């Protein structure tokens, strides 16, 4: 079956620092890949996605590139803000069913 392995947290950064959260996947075929964000007390929101190899998803300064050769979809942001503090989930699959990583708690300090 499919599995998604995500860098464990928590991650604490200072404002304007560079962020990387690693995500790798195991699947039969080439699933679509997603990053979801969960702000405190809220549900999940789709942050970005990529549907095929070499696609780059981007949103709100976050980026992730679908790397087939390394089966990875690492999340990056060049300069984080306090408002980026949240839990980030990597996920793979299709709209029919997604497999989620365990989530990474990010705290950005002013």
Partner 1 sequence: GAVVSQHPSRVICKSGTSVKIECRSLDFQATTMFWYRQFPKQSLMLMATSNEGSKATYEQGVEKDKFLINHASLTLSTLTVTSAHPEDSSFYICSARDGARGELFFGEGSRLTVL
Give me the residues that bind partner 1 (CB under 8 A), please: 36, 42-46, 89, 95-98, 100-103, 105
Dihedral Cα 7, 10, 13, 16, nearest 10 deg? 60
Which CB, 96 or 110, lies closer to partner 1? Answer: 96
Whose Cβ is closer to partner 1: residue 10's or residue 78's?
10
Of 15 and 46, nearer to partner 1 (C-beta) is: 46
DSSP character string of 41-81: TS-EEEEEEE-STT-EEEETTEEEE-BTTTTB--EEESS--
The least CB distance from residue 100 to partner 1, in Å, is 4
29 strand-pairing partners: none
Nearest approach, Cβ of residue 107 and partner 1 (Å): 13
What is the separation of C-alpha 43 from the centre of its chain, rounded to a whole number of angstroms? 15
Instruction: Supply 7's token pair.
Output: 């860098």
Shortest Å, Cβ 87 to partner 1: 8
Q: 45 or 79, CB closer to partner 1? A: 45
User: Shortest approach of partner 1 to residue 17 CB, angstroms?
Assistant: 23
């Amino acid at each position: 079956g499919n599995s998604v392995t995500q860098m464990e947290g928590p991650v604490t950064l200072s404002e304007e620092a560079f962020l990387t959260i690693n995500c790798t996947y195991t699947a039969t075929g080439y699933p679509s890949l997603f990053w979801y964000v969960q702000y405190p007390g809220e549900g999940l929101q789709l942050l970005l996605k990529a549907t095929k190899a070499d696609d780059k998803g981007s949103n709100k300064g976050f980026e992730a590139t679908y790397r087939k050769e390394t089966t990875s979809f690492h999340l990056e942001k060049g300069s984080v803000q306090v408002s980026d503090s949240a839990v980030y989930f990597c996920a793979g699959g299709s709209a029919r069913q997604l497999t989620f990583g365990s989530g990474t708690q990010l705290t950005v300090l002013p």
